Structure 1
Amino acid sequence: MKTFHLADPDATARLGATLAANRPAHAVVHLRGDLGAGKSSLARALLRALGVVGTVRSPTYTLVERYPLATGGEAWHLDLYRIGDPGELDYLGLDSDEAVLWLVEWPDRGRGALPAPDLEVRLAVEGEGRRAELIACSDAGARWIETCEALVLTPE
């Protein structure tokens, strides 16, 4: 596990860019944290760094937003806060092979219906900024964190 202090929105953008620059070819990220912890902000920063242009919406009401990536495939950003039962995910068309990146907010609500994560990011408000904990959940996730360490971000 690596912990970072994100002092401001620019630090969140740097973390998103770092994750984007080093992501595995296929990756699943679980984003955890209370309301307002910065889950959607980090997802938006990561998607922007991957070249997504135009509006990057929070999928609070749509549940899933799909973004084509220049490198091929799609990034899927899910917000499962409004899901009452994991079975509801069956109606979202998440069974295709188009997704090369899953960014899942409130993943516990989809337990058993989602692919296993490679990386878990726990976000929390900390003073004026945020605290981000990156936890590897697979070998690919562990390598991902290792490559992030050497870049702009300095772990606490």
Structure 2
Amino acid sequence: MKLTIYFDGSFWCGLVEYESIQGDYRASKYVFGPEPKDKEVEDFIYFTLQKLITRNDEKLNNHSVSIKADAVDKKINPKKMQRKINKEKRRSVVSTKAQLAMTESREQMKKARKKRSRIKKERLKKKKYELKQKKKMEKKKGH
């Protein structure tokens, strides 16, 4: 079992990584809020950690989702493995339904904004083209 405490930009979080009874890798996130004192971390380890692990195991067992390890016979280049590990570390961990909903909302807003800007660009392009054509016709007319 491994507990990593890190700052995710707005809150201090604890990432608990462990191996379940079935032998698969599992992880769970706990949000401390402001920077935790030693006493708070100690209380978390002694009183809350086991409940968190149990709850996480129940959720995963209900959904019957498990992460299977890659084939043992296939060897991976150590440098490639290190890059993969670092990439996973950088990736943000989505732990709550609220965060998931906020992410979806952000994605929808992003799509809508892209659509609006694309339409605006097309209108501007069309307007410039029409203006160019109008100037060309004016030149042909003469004085």
TM band (smaller chain): under 0.3
Indicate the structure with greater strand content: 1
Higher Cα Rg, which structure? 2
Indicate the structure with greater helix content: 2
Give the TM-score normalised by structure 2: 0.27
Higher relative contact order (CA 8 A, sep 6+): 1
Give the TM-score normalised by structure 1: 0.25
